[in-house]
Amino acid sequence: MIANMNKFIAIVGSNSNKSTNRELLKYMKKRFQSAAEIELVEIKNLPIYKKSADKYVPQEALDIATKIEAADGVIIATPEYDHSIPAALSSALAWLSYGIHPFVDKPVMITGASYGSLGSSRAQAQLRQILDSPELKARIMPSSEFLLGHSLQAFDENGDLKDEKVIKQLDGLFQDFLDFVNISKQLNNANEVNKQKAKEFSWDKD
């Protein structure tokens, strides 16, 4: 691995054992291996989020948070269920903003695959809103939706995308993300303050 190569965490936004969003992230890991080290992270072993008196956070969530903190950026691939992100992804993000705040000022690229023609566009819009919330405060790459529609037919037997136009778009967006991450590294002067504000925020306070 090149010494200054960016390291990204790629979150599979589904708890399904067979997910085209996982296939998409696997493809990105392989295609962009010379430009970045991409580690896939699963959320399917996380319990459903719930508040507790002692503010307990499961070790699985703490482990993911540690990986995010150490990474230069995060890629999230989300399916779309009823025009929204899956409950498993929503629950995972809730754990990752419950007394821990690894996403604060962290560059995030949103992607998504779906069986239909829309390619998880509404789920991605909702995910942007969640990542922009006071408890998460991620730095989401603007104007960067990658929408993989008809995802069951999108990959060949080797797990590679088949459509050259789709590949070209993804290549361009990933290069944009590399540039976005490098620019973001120069924009962290308020990071400590932002983390403190995220820690202090509560919907229960006036």
Reported as a single tens digit per residue, the pLDDT across 114-157 is: 887 766 788 999 999 999 999 999 999 997 789 898 999 999 99
Helix residue ranges, H only, the chain: 20-31, 59-70, 87-95, 121-131, 164-184, 191-200
pLDDT at 13: 96
Structural domain includes residue 146: yes
Query: Is residue 86, in this structure, part of any structural domain at all?
Result: yes
Assigned domain for 1 exists = no
Q: What are phi and psi of 35, to 5 degrees?
A: -105, -25
The answer to whether position 91 is within a domain reads yes
* Nearest-angstrom CA–CA distance, 194 and 197: 5
Label residue 102 by pLDDT band (50, 70, 90).
very high
pLDDT at residue 144, as a whole number = 78
What's the structural domain count of the chain? Answer: 1
Q: Which two tokens mark 1?
A: 């691995």
Residue 200 confidence class, pLDDT cut points 50, 70, 90: confident
Looking at residues 15-31, what average pLDDT do you find?
Answer: 96
What was the pLDDT predicted at 118? 66
| C-alpha pair distances (Å), 116 with each of 11, 20, 86, 171 | 21, 12, 16, 22
CATH (domain of 124)? 3.40.50.360
Tell me the residue range of the domain where 143 lies. 6-200
User: Does some domain include residue 206?
Assistant: no
pLDDT at position 3: 53
Residue 190 pLDDT greater than 90, yes or no: no
Q: Residue 206: is its pLDDT beyond 50?
A: no
Give me the chain's average pLDDT, please.
91
Is residue 13 in some structural domain? yes
Residue 205 lies in a domain: no
Please say if the pLDDT value at position 205 is more than 70.
Answer: no
In angstroms, the CA 179 to CA 31 distance is: 17
User: Using CA atoms, how far apart are residues 181 and 79, in angstroms rounded to an integer?
Assistant: 24
- Measured CA to CA, the distance from residue 135 to residue 120 in angstroms comes to 24
Amino acid identity, position 87 = A
- Supply the pLDDT for residue 122: 87
